[in-house]
């Protein structure tokens, strides 16, 4: 099994990947909160293992071997998050940090046991897809809240967990997967979105709204 540091790099590369270009040193440094020079050194090292393809000034991409290793870490992380939330009753804004600590120590047998215990879930508590043992991820047909027109009633299906303080705020306002809301209005000048939550309204900055993904609410009114 790769070291925790290597696993963190592989997972970050997978999560930051975009089509047709490599992940830059600066992007990785920002995600992992390390210096650019440290990232460059690690990418050169990983390139020698065959898990990463790296060219200076052109960025880094995962090889098939690296992608398999990255999705294995992601699978452990997201199953642990769901276990901590569903079975241990840990709040949504706390599970990410705990899973970060546990993911490097948990064996595949233990994670498989948790997977069976929870009846093979496909989504983590934040709404992100859980890779299967072959590294496949289920696609989610959703849109960011910033794309939804005023008047539409939607269901929250995913909230990003990259910023703990933002997630804590969303949880405090009840904006978690499964919540039904109505888009009251969007402000064109700054992209903020106002939501109707029952009898109250809540304004979200564009940066927060972009991290919330939704699907149309096909059910009855709240």
Given 62, 83, 111, the domain boundary residue is 62
40 burial via Cβ count (<10 Å: 0-12, 13-18, 19+): middle
The verdict on residue 109 lying in a domain is no
The verdict on residue 104 lying in a domain is no
**Residue found by looking up tokens 């994670």 in the block:** 111
CATH number of domain containing 150: 2.30.30.90
The verdict on residue 76 lying in a domain is no
Give buried/exposed letters for 173-212 (b at 16+ CB in 10 A, else e): eebbbebbbbbeebeeeeebbbbbbeeeeeebebebbbbb
Given 38, 62, 86, the domain boundary residue is 62
CATH number of domain containing 41: 1.10.10.10
The verdict on residue 86 lying in a domain is no
pLDDT at 65: 95
pLDDT at 221: 47
User: What Å distances lie between residue 204 and 17, 79, 122, 210, CA to CA?
Assistant: 27, 29, 28, 10
Split into its structural domains, the chain has a count of: 2
**CA atoms of 172 and 166, how far apart (whole Å):** 10
The verdict on residue 157 lying in a domain is yes
Given 44, 62, 80, the domain boundary residue is 62
pLDDT at 218: 82
Q: Which of 30, 58, 54 is nearest to 44 (CA)?
A: 54
Structure tokens at 141: 């047909």
Average confidence score pLDDT of the chain = 92
pLDDT at 58: 86
pTM, full prediction: 0.87
The verdict on residue 116 lying in a domain is no
**CA atoms of 177 and 212, how far apart (whole Å):** 9
- Residue 189's contacts (CB-CB under 8 Å, 6 or more residues apart) are none
The verdict on residue 150 lying in a domain is yes
Structure tokens at 221: 């009114």
Of all helices (H) and strands (E), which one includes residue 201?
A: strand 200-204
Query: pLDDT below 50 — which residues of the chain?
Result: 220-222
The verdict on residue 73 lying in a domain is no
Domain range for 57 is 4-62
């Amino acid at each position: 099994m790769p070291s925790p540091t290597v696993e963190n790099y592989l997972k970050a590369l997978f999560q930051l990947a975009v089509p047709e270009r490599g992940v830059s040193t600066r992007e990785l440094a920002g995600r992992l909160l390390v210096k650019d020079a440290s990232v460059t050194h690690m990418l050169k090292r990983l390139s020698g293992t065959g898990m990463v393809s790296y060219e200076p000034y052109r960025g880094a991409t995962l090889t098939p071997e690296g992608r398999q290793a990255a999705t294995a870490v992601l699978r452990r992380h997201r199953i642990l998050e769901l276990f901590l939330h569903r079975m241990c009753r840990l709040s949504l804004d706390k599970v990410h940090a705990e899973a970060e600590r546990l993911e490097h120590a948990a064996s595949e047998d233990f994670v498989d046991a948790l997977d069976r215990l929870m009846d093979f879930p496909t989504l983590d508590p934040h709404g992100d897809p859980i890779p299967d043992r072959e590294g496949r991820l289920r696609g989610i047909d959703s849109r960011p809240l910033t794309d939804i027109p005023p008047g539409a009633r939607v269901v929250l299906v995913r909230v990003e967990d990259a910023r703990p303080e933002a997630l804590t705020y969303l949880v405090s306002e009840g904006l978690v997967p499964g919540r039904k809301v109505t888009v009251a209005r969007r402000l064109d000048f700054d992209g903020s979105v106002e939501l109707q939550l029952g009898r109250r309204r809540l304004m979200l900055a564009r940066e927060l709204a972009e991290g919330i993904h939704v699907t149309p609410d096909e059910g009855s009114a709240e």
